[in-house]
Amino acid sequence: MKRNADGTWRNSRSPRVVSERVVRARWVEAEALRMQTMAFSYDAIAEHITKVGLGQAQALTTMPEIAFPPDYKISRQACHEACQRALERNPALEAEELRKLLTARCEDLFLNLQPTMRKGNPRATDSGARLIELTARLNGLFVPQAAESAKKKDGRTTVAELLAEVGQLGDED
C-alpha cells in the first residue's frame, strides 16, 4: 500500500489524492522562491504571502483555486523552509539561469550607480569597478587567467595549453 501526500494510506490502484493543504504548500513554495530570486527578504516574503492569503494583495505566480484559512499567517522561517524545499524539489535555477539572473542584478546596480559615478564620487566609482569585475567573473571572462595562475602554482600544464603549444590537430589521411 502507498500513501497519499497527506500521509493517509491509499490503494495502489487508486490515484493519488492531492489535498488542498498540499496544493497551498506548493504554491507558497513557488511564490517564496519567486520572491527570493527577486532579492526580497524573508520578512517581506512572509508579509506578502500573508496578505495574498488574506486577499489583500495579488500573487506574483499563478495561483490555483485554493482557500486560505481566515486567520492565515506565515513566518519568515516558514518562508525560508519553503524556499529550501522548492530548490530541493525542483532545481529550476541551473547554473546558466542563475548566471543570467545575477548578471541582470549587477547591471541594475551599475545603472543605479551611474549618476553618482558621473559626479566623481570615488566610492561609487570603486563600487562600479567591482561590479564590472564581478560581472566578468560570473560570465567566465577570467577563466584563462585562473588556468595560468594554477599552472604557476603546481607546475603542471593543462590540456588546453598543450593543444595551444602543439597546434590544431588535423584529420590524418
83 and 12 fall within a common domain = yes
> What's the chain's average pLDDT?
80
User: Phi/psi of residue 15, each to 5°?
Assistant: -70, 160
Please tell me the chain's helix, strand, coil percentages from 3-state DSSP, rounded to the nearest 5.
Answer: 60, 0, 35
Q: Which range marks the domain in which residue 121 is found? A: 95-166
Are 32 and 11 within one domain?
yes
The phi, psi pair for 70, rounded to 5°, reads -65, -25
Any residues with CB less than 8 A from the CB of 25 and at least 6 apart, and which?
A: 82
Q: Which residue has the cell 588535423?
A: 170
Among 53, 56, 60, CA closest to 75 = 53
d(CA 27, CA 59): 10
Residues 125, 142, single domain; the answer is yes
Q: Are residues 103 and 158 in the same domain?
A: yes
Residue showing cell 547554473: 95
pLDDT of 167 reads 62
Q: Which residues of the chain are under the pLDDT cut of 50? A: 146, 172-173
Residue with cell 492569503: 53
From 72, 89, 106, the end of a domain falls on: 89
Query: Crossing angle of helices 20-37/76-89, nearest 10°?
Result: 90
Amino acid 53: pLDDT: 92
pLDDT for the residue numbered 148: 55
Instruction: Look at residue 124 and tell me if it is in a domain.
Output: yes
CA distances from 110 to 49, 78, 124, 132, 138 (A): 30, 33, 9, 8, 15
Q: Specify the pLDDT at position 165.
A: 64
**Overall pTM > 0.75:** no
